[in-house]
Structure 1
Amino acid sequence: MEQLNAWLTDLLAGNEIFTANTLGYYAEGLATTVQLVSLSLLIGLVLAVPLAIGRGSKRPWIKWPIFFYAYVFRGTPLLIQLYIIYYGVVFVEGIQDTWLWLILEEPFYPALIAFTLNTAAYTTEIFHGAIKATARGEIEAARAYGMSRAKMMRRIILPSAFRRALPAYGNEVIFMLQASAIASVVTIMDLTGAARFVYARFYAPFEAFLFVAAIYLCLTFSIIYFFRHLEKRLLAHLKPQG
């Protein structure tokens, strides 16, 4: 108990673990984590919508390649995918002589590609299930109104599917935030990378990693609050009146 009190006293007093320099590392790691996660989620969402529509196609040459892609990326660990993309791109013949190498030699972009492909696979399945759950009556009403397939998808099916997919997609956003901690294994200075750096420099694992864990908790609760607020607004018509 005395050791705990001493540690809390040092923490609140501001020891060498929490100087302006180390807090700068944490701030840089936070910015990198937010950038990596937000970009991968945004690009993955843009990719997932047409993939989810194609996933429900009756044409095998459209449906099965999308199914295979989602199956592979959902059935293998994200860390393995990151390793394959980060280390495997070096062995692509001639790539180091192209303009792509100027981008891919930085570890941020291979990590962004791995995270984007992973979250796009999960989001594709989430939206595919939500699209399949569209009420038959809504589709028949749209057809009776004379809507084309594209207009029905844009005005009826996708908005309805998005509302149903919102809770599951919120969990996917939280999963991607927590999974982003593995980005530090390819030398990216994210939140976990900043904690590892501070730990290696000051030999203080508890302070470094507990501080980062608190930041992750704050980010997670912020995401939960945002999606719950969004669900209340979009699903307000399902609540019983009075």
Structure 2
Amino acid sequence: MMDFSFLYGTLLTLLTGVPLTLQLAVSSVALGTVLAIVLALARLSGLTLLAWPTRFYVFVFRSTPLLVQIFLIYHGLGQFPAIRTSILWPILREPYWCALIALSLNTAAYSSEVIRGALLSVPTGQIEAARACGMRTIVLYRRIVFPLALRQALPAYGNEFILMVKATSLASIITLMEVTGLAAKLISPVFPRYRNSRCCRRDLPLDQLPRHAAPPVG
């Protein structure tokens, strides 16, 4: 019989992890957006000294798993004595900040390509018309380029936010108790009993097999 009181208590426990999950997702997307704009503008600047390091950054963070990035930031940076004695150590030793940094750097790599594609999608004719009217570069970007690019980037950016909400589940591996971390904590005392009961149900018929398969004596 289903224990509804247990399910209700489990649901309430999982809901306590929702604020941390949303906080990680929103904060990482916000920080990643700022960095992504800088990366996209560097890629479009035409300067080799800016474009190539940016391209390398995007390649590294898009071609490596986020799980590895979290491990390297949380466990790897602490292996260097220079970092442990620096002013950044109070931040880098905390799992929350390490997860936030990893998520922000990861989403910045993907979002920079979204922003770069959106900027390139702005019709050249509108830019040339604005320049022909004597519009300054800052005003051109503020009134024409950015509004049109934002309209093109919103659908892909919505998908990126959804992916980041799902990616916050990886923060549980560095002891953050968001929804996935709480779920693992709830499962840990229950799963061994469930696993043992399944093994008993599976192995008990096998224990009886030699008795039935043995030839009769005499």
Q: TM-score range by the shorter chain?
A: 0.7 to 0.9
Matches within 5 A, 1:31-50: 31-50=19-38
The worse-fitting range, judged by mean Cα deviation, of 90-99 and 62-71 is 90-99
Q: Post-superposition shift, 1:55?
A: 1.2
| AA aligned opposite 2:184 | R
Higher relative contact order (CA 8 A, sep 6+): 2
- Does residue 199 of the first structure (1) align with residue 190 of the second (2)? no
Matches within 5 A, 1:15-26: 15=6, 17-19=7-9, 22=10, 25-26=13-14
| AA aligned opposite 1:145 | C
CA offsets, 1:186-219, max 9 Å, x none? 111110000000111344999xxxxxxxxxxxxx
When residues 27 and 146 of structure 1 are mapped into structure 2, their CA distance, relative to the original with a 3 A threshold, is same
Q: Post-superposition shift, 1:18?
A: 3.5
Matched residues, number: 194
CA offsets, 1:69-98, max 9 Å, x none? 111111111111111111111112232223
Aligned counterpart, 2:41? 53
In the alignment, the residues of structure 1 paired with residue 32 and residue 19 of structure 2 have an alpha-carbon distance, to the nearest angstrom, of 20
| AA aligned opposite 2:93 | E
CA offsets, 1:58-78, max 9 Å, x none? 111111111111111111111
When residues 204 and 165 of structure 1 are mapped into structure 2, their CA distance, relative to the original with a 3 A threshold, is farther
User: TM-score, with normalisation over the residues of structure 2?
Assistant: 0.83
Aligned counterpart, 2:63? 75
Q: Describe the SS at the equivalent of 2:94.
A: coil
Q: Post-superposition shift, 1:148?
A: 2.0
Aligned counterpart, 2:164? 176
Aligned counterpart, 2:205? none
Structure 2 regions of 5+ residues with no counterpart?
Answer: 195-218
- Does residue 106 of the first structure (1) align with residue 94 of the second (2)? yes
In the alignment, the residues of structure 1 paired with residue 183 and residue 193 of structure 2 have an alpha-carbon distance, to the nearest angstrom, of 8
In the alignment, the residues of structure 2 paired with residue 200 and residue 190 of structure 1 have an alpha-carbon distance, to the nearest angstrom, of 15
| The one of 80, 83, 86 aligned to 1:92 | 80
Q: Is the 8 A contact 1:28 1:189 kept in 2?
A: no
Q: Is the 8 A contact 1:74 1:121 kept in 2?
A: yes
- Does residue 134 of the first structure (1) align with residue 126 of the second (2)? no
Percent of residue pairs identical: 43
- Structure showing greater Rg: 2
Q: Is the 8 A contact 1:134 1:157 kept in 2?
A: yes
In the alignment, the residues of structure 2 paired with residue 126 and residue 41 of structure 1 have an alpha-carbon distance, to the nearest angstrom, of 13
- Does residue 28 of the first structure (1) align with residue 16 of the second (2)? yes
Aligned counterpart, 1:121? 109
Q: Is the 8 A contact 1:44 1:123 kept in 2?
A: yes
